[in-house]
Structure 1
């Protein structure tokens, strides 16, 4: 997997790249910035083109296919992908016609093309178009791959676009499955396409407007192995450049958190020759059992509550934390399954026991 960011004019490139976000997605119309990105040590990873630019009053422009071929040439030059932004284009037939006219160039190219879920904006109200639903995107990519005679087309899920239409992003992730190659990560409150950073919007008593934990968790379960592109120009356009490095560091930290605490969970659970031990016997441990218990059953649970030590939970014995020390260090695979991570972590540190934390908010 990779992390990347959508370039916007005025971005502090040096700071963003230093923060760890080195791969950039560029609007095709903004490709004049490519040299500046390369000079600062960045990479051109993707080219975004707006399908709306190919049309005039809903019909294809005469030079539409040539524009697409030119964009492919640019993507080829940088060994980049193409994302097709489908906002305000109602009919899938528009894209199908372009691909039909460019099929030979697509087949001969190494460029992969990802179709983004879109919407139609009519005076500030957002409506579905032919590119909005996951099932329609799956049908369209299958049709375009058949038309091109090769698997060059995939799906880009824009989380913010789905939110605007009230689409359940988790369902979209599951429906699109492994056809999803890019996640455009941005946040809004369902009222406007704000392109803000993840975790920005909350409702009520701090309830996230976007269910980031479960979206990331469902992506991991589908085997997603593509790119997380932070499509957050709404944030970067409205903040001083001197803040961009710090914001990019935060974005990169989000990406690393998702990988380490979610995507690598099964890798760590599957470690050969290890006994899985869960510290905790409550709701979080139940969440573990529901999601992983059949495939990776714990050898035993431990809990500080002496009243449940010696009992069983879900057929698994509950023991004292000291029992961990009876398992050879090389055979331990200890996971904190309790909301009091810091206190239990300090307890295990004092025992000389290495551990990982199980984050149940990815698996609710």
Structure 2
């Protein structure tokens, strides 16, 4: 379990413990320790259910239901998790002799306790949905008011553009293309988290990832993230081909520098970046098409990187005029040594050729 995941569940347990202690105070249910134990355990179980960790197949079936039916079934499932969870915790507390109750009193929760637990878990679930919608980093920044006033900071940006998505949509329809994008975006989330990046935005078939400059440069995380994403997609090539007929492939551009970060919006707030770095990174991603390269990095960013990950090769492409700009930019291509990539993926040349042919049959955007 990663440190980020551990922190997440520790916060959920601590929040539940607080509300558990508050329940004991409000309803005079005895020692606060019991409320803390109930609150921590029930909150972890309830959020695990809402995130599909508990009863995952049931959660998958729920998503296929109409909205009203989904809400009703989801609440019934949550009620069952809360009641069972309270019974389990109650029996454990009774076994340890921590409560002056009969076994039946310990395992049969009071109606007001169940209602309280449902309200608290619904509140926590709503907060987490907002967090998931805007991203954990942006959520924390909005809560703390970090960017109420514009702040100048240095960041590394990674622009990822899915190759062939337009052609795929033309051939298979918008709904099929949306399913492809949904699964691709889900697949890249873990490599981004592992390399301590944050997904700032999805724009059509493009993903924008960023790091504070020093974090992105340390251990060349920004470069490692690009190739971790490529390997993650490549490792599931048979599944991608079976489901969509292609193996997703990204064009990627890396650049960094000073930007102004600010909270914008009135009815809907978000954290936005302003500055030439954003425009230049977007144009650099467009240069991938012209140069026939999959991964490009600006010399300005590459020069600040202490070392590249093992197995990554650099090719200098000289200076280029990016679309819409007058100044030239020194650009380098990055690629993983073929033999190393094959060893890591456990994929032979024949399998790689098969997947590539399947993708080219659909064309490239």
On whether the aligned pair clears a TM of 0.5, the verdict is: no
TM-score by length of 1: 0.24
Q: Greater CA radius of gyration, 1 or 2? A: 2
TM-score by length of 2: 0.24
